[in-house]
Structure 1
């Protein structure tokens, strides 16, 4: 998933910023001191630039003679610019922030530094990081191309008031996927609320659940296509059954109808990353504070929903690579920086050093006082990394198109997956 791209945090970032700023949002420059000898350039996207800005005092205390320059572009523009910079070696920053799915794509291009090598030595820090986050940055060659800053452990959010009206215990939603759908049918019959916004979210979790060693979501390490498998058949079957019973509202994530559904209590659950709580509280449905609760994903599924990394381009200035690595260490290995990003921006820490902090045990007001961070901390350690293939984005689009045809009754599940395999095999040979 990509990491469950259809519902990952990158959509949240795009939704939050699309109407609030232009593609180029300017430059933040730490005021240069008289003795400034160096300028370190950080390329970031919304929220990541704010997290970096908050670290300026700490950076200046460590490196008063280094000017920190933060370049911010909107999410899509940023990653497009980094793609171009890596391919042309023009306009490369000293440090680039990357969303998880782009780490996998860029890793295969060979344009990022292998952080195992001197002067970086990232392997020494591996025990301090959430395992799957570190593993996400490992290229097929074994190179570690980025340092994780934050993660998005998957969770199921549900409206307690809706479940109470329906007389459905939360355990019925999480016991199994069959139980999840059956509980949704009872909720719909008794309250009129939909189980979920769109059954695509169900498919996205199930196709990534139960991967075997050497498997990605769509391809294995030999680029063999995996869509004609029990994983995909099960995902399509559960999604189709939920649609046939009228349990999804048929609205895409981050649409106006999606937000309205949360505000009006028409959506009983959502499958997403833990960070969605912050988005609901901040701007999607703040008036529903106290009505939501969090649980693990149905059927014991574990899934990552996005995450953020820092990387260094191989062809960036050699003279500043040590400084670039020190900045990355400050942002990812300093407990104070990690906790501040978590408290202020819901950036769940990849650094395990801070997972014992009392903040994890504090009640979450939006979730009715539930101590949900403890749940997310536990689930994060169960997640395994999802290897990324260069054709993953295309595969996502193909599989979703075939699911849509199944949902409309135009194809059987087996026919849809067979057609998807043929398309992906042709593309993989290019």
Structure 2
């Protein structure tokens, strides 16, 4: 279809991004077929640079694409920690060298890209992306669109949240293991901490209630409409009651000894999945594939999933973009279009848990279950969470502010720093980021 975006849609990049009700919108649109077969100059090696766990390789999508497109070889690089990835990407964007044909962008960074780095990335409407607008939720599309209508990335997934847990560890501590019973038992975050104290008193040796208080903060703040910016684009993080509540709850968990004190994405955190070092893990949909990769075959059937305390929320979600300095731009766009098409997004969710941003895919995965997680109805759990997720207001420094606050909580958790002092340190870190 032609690109008929309204002015209101085009300017929605800072204002609220409705990831809930809009998931019901849109019609089922079939994916475009793969279109590349190398180039006139011969075979092409496409490079794609990611962070965390996108799951494409694990789900066999690269191999499938290469079979459909003789002459195309895909080479992936991956950085586990998004902060490290983003710093490296910024350095390469400034220098113009060392960039992959495809670069991933985390949702907390996308406003920075659309407002400050549009010249560093290809406008995908030049390659026909305008015809894809109806395939994505309106919010996902709008977030990657500049004020003058350039589309700088295609959406991969969104991050509706639940709580993953080790049913075997909970059983040993005498706690409920049924996902519906647990959802009722921890319906609020206060309930969740109370249950955590009971677990800690009866837990197996060397097992904590939660991996880190940073993840607790991240999942709580993901339930809020306004976090660090308001709808006018003004900073509100210092006085926002939602930020204060999430900070206080996470700090209380640290002081109560409920945390395993593990930095997410660290080698120690990775090893802890198999060791049973924590019983619960705030769990956006994309975390399912990561758990499988770290816990391995031995973890199958031990993990389960329940609804999140305090209601629905979103944590994460990403985009695939083509840098202006990419070597194979046409072929890169063809691969992005294929990977983000409804068929591939649905397949990725069923195999890895990454919840689709393509409306056509969302409609096809409501019945999905996952045998690794004790046959949990992942389509229903994450689908319900996605529908109920509130508007989220994103700003230029959204991710960086969150990172600094989590660093402050790590001081409380690791060093025993008083929460007030740690908050002051976090604010200094934010000031440095904002310049």
> TM range, normalised to the smaller chain?
0.7 to 0.9
Deviations 1:373-395 (A, max 9, x none): 221123234444552424742x3
Deviation (angstroms), 1:195? 1.6
Paired residues of 1:206 and 1:235 also in contact (CA < 8 A): yes
Deviations 1:243-298 (A, max 9, x none): 23221122233455545554454522101322333333334243132122212321
Deviations 1:310-353 (A, max 9, x none): 22334658xx7666544432222252x33443445544332221
1:113 pairs with one of 122, 132, 135:
122
Query: Using the alignment, how far apart are the partners of 2:92 and 2:154 within structure 1?
Result: 19
2:195 is the alignment partner of 1:183: yes
Note closer, same or farther for the CA distance 1:31–1:79 as it changes in structure 2 (3 Å cut). Answer: farther
Aligned to 2:8: none
Secondary structure, aligned partner of 2:156: strand
Query: Using the alignment, how far apart are the partners of 1:94 and 1:292 within structure 2?
Result: 37
Deviations 1:167-216 (A, max 9, x none): 3440245411111111111222233552202111111222343223xxx5
* TM-score, structure 1 normalization: 0.73
Aligned to 1:144: 151
Deviation (angstroms), 1:157? 0.3
Aligned to 1:252: 263
Query: Using the alignment, how far apart are the partners of 2:142 and 2:232 within structure 1?
Result: 15
Deviation (angstroms), 1:41? 6.0
Paired residues of 1:200 and 1:239 also in contact (CA < 8 A): yes
Secondary structure, aligned partner of 1:55: helix
2:370 is the alignment partner of 1:356: no
2:218 is the alignment partner of 1:204: yes
* TM-score, structure 2 normalization: 0.72
Of 221-230 and 235-244, more deviation after overlay is shown by 221-230
Secondary structure, aligned partner of 2:72: strand
1:51 pairs with one of 61, 66, 69:
61
Query: Using the alignment, how far apart are the partners of 1:90 and 1:138 within structure 2?
Result: 25
Note closer, same or farther for the CA distance 1:125–1:261 as it changes in structure 2 (3 Å cut). Answer: same
Note closer, same or farther for the CA distance 1:421–1:329 as it changes in structure 2 (3 Å cut). Answer: same
Query: Using the alignment, how far apart are the partners of 1:78 and 1:401 within structure 2?
Result: 17
Paired positions, count: 380
Query: Using the alignment, how far apart are the partners of 2:197 and 2:79 within structure 1?
Result: 38
Paired residues of 2:218 and 2:315 also in contact (CA < 8 A): no
Higher RCO, 1 vs 2 (CA within 8 Å, ≥6 residues apart): 2
Q: Which runs of 5+ in 2 are unaligned?
A: 1-35
Query: Using the alignment, how far apart are the partners of 1:208 and 1:345 within structure 2?
Result: 21
